[in-house]
Amino acid sequence: TTGYTTLDPGFVNTASTKSAITYIDGEAGILRYRGYPIEQLAEHSTFIEVSYLLIYGELPTAEQLEAFTDKIRRHTLLHEDLKRFFDGFPRNAHPMPVLSSAINALSAYYQDSLNPDDPEQVELSTIRLLAKLPTIAAYAYKKSVGQPFLYPDNSLNLVENFLRMTFGFPAEPYEVDPEISKALDMLLILHADHEQNCSTSTVRLVGSSDANLFTSISGGINALWGPLHGGANQAVLEMLEGIRERGDTVEDFVKKVKNKEDGVKLMGFGHRVYRNYDPRAAIVKKAADTILAKLGGDDELLEIAKALEEAALTDEYFIARKLYPNVDFYTGLIYRAMGFPTRMFTVLFAMGRLPGWIAHWREMHNDAALKIGRPRQIYTGYTERDYKELTTR
Ligand code: SDX
C-alpha cells in the first residue's frame, strides 16, 4: 500500500551530509573539534578560543584571538528597543522561548547583516550573535526574577561578563568568582559542538533555504529545548529531586525505568551515537567532585546520581542497550552549585552550542554545491481513491 519501492536519493537531507568540523566515534567514545581531542581542549583552551577554532577551522594566533575578542567585546550591548522586548514576556516564562524569540528578533534590529551571500554580513552576524546571546540569556534570567538588567562591562571576558549580568546588582559591585568562571568556561567548551545532532541539523536545514543566520540559530534553540535533547539537563535535576522527595531507593527507580512505568527514562543516559561513555560526561564527572566541593554543591543529589550511574552500568537492561551517561547527566549539578535555577540549564547549553551552530551554518553556505534540504519520506497512506459526496459518507 506504500507509494515507495526504493528510497529516492533525495531522501538524504543534502544540507547536512558532509562536514569537517567535529568528529565523533560513538563506539570508542571519541570527540574531536577540528581534529583536537575534547579532553585537551577542556584542559588547555578557553571557550572563546574554541569558538574561533570551530568557526574558522584553526586555533587562533595571539593577534587573531585578541582581534576576535575585541570585536565581540564591542557588540555585547543590545539595541535599547530590544531591551524593552523583554517587557512583553510574562515573569514566569521559561527562558528558552525568550532566548529563541530575542535571537530571532535580531533579524529585525540588525537588518544590515542578514544576507548569507555577503561574507561581511555573515561575519557581522557571527560576531553579533557570539556577543549578544550571553547578554540576552542574562536578561532572560533577570526578567524571570524581576531584577534590573545590568549593562555589559567590557573590562570582563565573555563568561565573566555573562556571570556579572546574571548575578550582579546595580546597587553593589559584583566580584566574579574565578572558580565559577573557569568551571563554566570549561562546560561551555564541552557543549560547543557535536556534529549533526538534532538542533545543529535544524540550523543547517533552516539555513539551507538561505534564511539568515539569526533566524537559523533561533530554530536550533527551539529544537534544543526538547527534553530528549538539550532540555535533558533540566530533566536530570528534576529526576534526581523527584527521587529524593519521594524517598525512592535507587533500586526502585531503576526498576520503574526498566518497566517503562509511565514512560519514565533515566534522563541524562543514552545517546544515538555514543554506544560507550560520552567523553564529555567523563570530563564533567571528574570535575564535578572538585567543583562541587569548592562551590558547595548538593552532595545528596550528587550521591543519588552516582548511585544511579553505578546501578545502571552493572544492569543488563542498560548494558544490552549500550546506555551510558551523556553530557547532561552531571552538568546540572554543577550549574545548580553555581547558582543557576534549573530552567536556565538549557540556556547554558545553547550558549555553549552557539559557536558550533554558527560553524555548521557557515560551512554549509560555503559549500558551492549547497542545495536546499528536502528530506523525502516513505509514504504509508492510502493509494488513490475517489471523492465521496457528503450525502454518501
Ligand atoms: C543530547 O545527538 C547528540 O549529539 C545530542 C547531544 C549533543 O551534544 O547535541 O549529545 C546532546 O541531546 C544528549 C541526550 C540527552 N537526552 C537524554 O538524556 C534523554 C534520555 N535519553 C533518551 O531519551 C535516549 O537515549 C536518546 C533520545 C538520547 C537517544 O534515543 P535513541 O537513540 O532514539 O534510542 P532509543 O530511544 O531508540 O532507545 C533504545 C532503547 C529503547 O528500549 P527498547 O525499546 O529497546 O526496550 O533504549 C531505551 C529505549 O527505551 N532507552 C532508555 C533510555 N534511552 C534509551 N531507557 C531508559 N532511559 C533512557 N535514558
C-alpha count within 13 angstroms, C-beta hemisphere, residue 277 = 13
Alpha carbon nearest to ligand 1 atom 22, residue: 270
Cell 533566524, residue located: 215
Of 271, 331, 349, the one to substitute when testing ligand 1's pocket (max ligand atoms within 8 A of C-beta) is 271
Pocket probe for ligand 1: among 204, 228, 309, the residue whose CB has the most ligand atoms within 8 Å is 228
Strands (E), the chain: 22-25, 30-33, 36-37
C-alpha–C-alpha distance, residues 138 and 141, integer Å: 5
> Which residue's CA is minimally distant from atom 11 of ligand 1?
229
Ligand 1 centroid distance, CA of 341 (Å): 24
Distance 132 CA to ligand 1 centre (A): 32
Residue whose CA is at the smallest distance from ligand 1 atom 16: 228
Span from the CA of 243 to the centroid of ligand 1 (angstroms): 20
Rounded distance from Cα 272 to ligand 1 centre (Å): 6
Closest atom of ligand 1 to CA, residue 266: 58
The SS3 call for residue 20 is coil
Ligand 1 atom 3: residue of nearest CA: 197
- Give Cα separations from 219 to 88, 101, 198, 350, 357 (angstroms): 21, 10, 11, 11, 10
**List of long-range contacts for 222-229, beta carbons under 8 Å, 24+ apart:** 222/96, 222/100, 223/198, 223/199, 224/96, 224/198, 224/199, 224/346, 224/349, 224/350, 224/353, 225/94, 225/96, 225/97, 225/100, 225/346, 226/198, 227/267, 228/198, 229/197, 229/198, 229/199
Q: Tell me which residues have their CB closer than 6 angstroms to ligand 1.
A: 194, 197, 228-230, 232, 257, 265-273, 321, 323, 326-328
- Active-site residue, from 278, 328, 360, 365: 328
Please, are residues 78 and 139 in contact by the beta-carbon 8 Å criterion? yes
Which pLDDT does position 185 carry in this prediction?
Answer: 98
The residues of the chain scoring below 50 in pLDDT are: 1-16
Which cell goes with 362?
Answer: 557557515
Angle at CA 193, nearest 5°, toward 75 and 225?
A: 80
Nearest atom within ligand 1 for CA of residue 268:
18
For residue 392, how many other CB atoms are within 10 A of its CB? 6
Residue among 216, 183, 211, 188 nearest 200 (CA): 216
Backbone angles phi, psi at 30, to 5 degrees: -110, 135
User: Quick one: 52 exposed, middle or buried, by C-beta within 10 A (0-12, 13-18, 19+)?
Assistant: buried
Q: Which of 271, 278, 360, 365 is catalytic?
A: 271
pLDDT of residue 281: 96
Handedness of CA 109, 112, 117, 118 (dihedral sign): negative
Q: Is 79 a catalytic residue?
A: no
Active site residue 328: yes
What value of ipTM does the predicted structure carry? 0.97
**269 Cα: distance to centroid of ligand 1 (angstroms):** 7
- Centroid of ligand 1 to alpha carbon of 264 (angstroms): 12
Pick the atom of ligand 1 nearest to 194's CA: 8
The 10s digit of each residue's pLDDT in 57-107 is 999 999 999 999 999 999 999 999 998 999 999 999 999 999 999 999 999
Please give the distance, rounded to the nearest whole angstrom, from the Cα atom of residue 232 to the centre of ligand 1.
10
> Going by CA atoms, what residue is nearest to atom 23 of ligand 1?
228
**CA 225 vs CA 228, 321, 384: distances in Å:** 9, 25, 39
Give the contacts of 267 (CB within 8 A, at least 6 positions apart): 227, 232, 235, 236, 238, 239, 328, 329
The radius of gyration of the chain's CA atoms, rounded to the nearest angstrom, is 22
Give the pLDDT score at 2.
40
Which of 323, 229, 329 is CA-nearest to residue 282?
329
Whole-number Cα distances in Å, 235 to 170, 261, 331, 352 = 33, 17, 11, 18
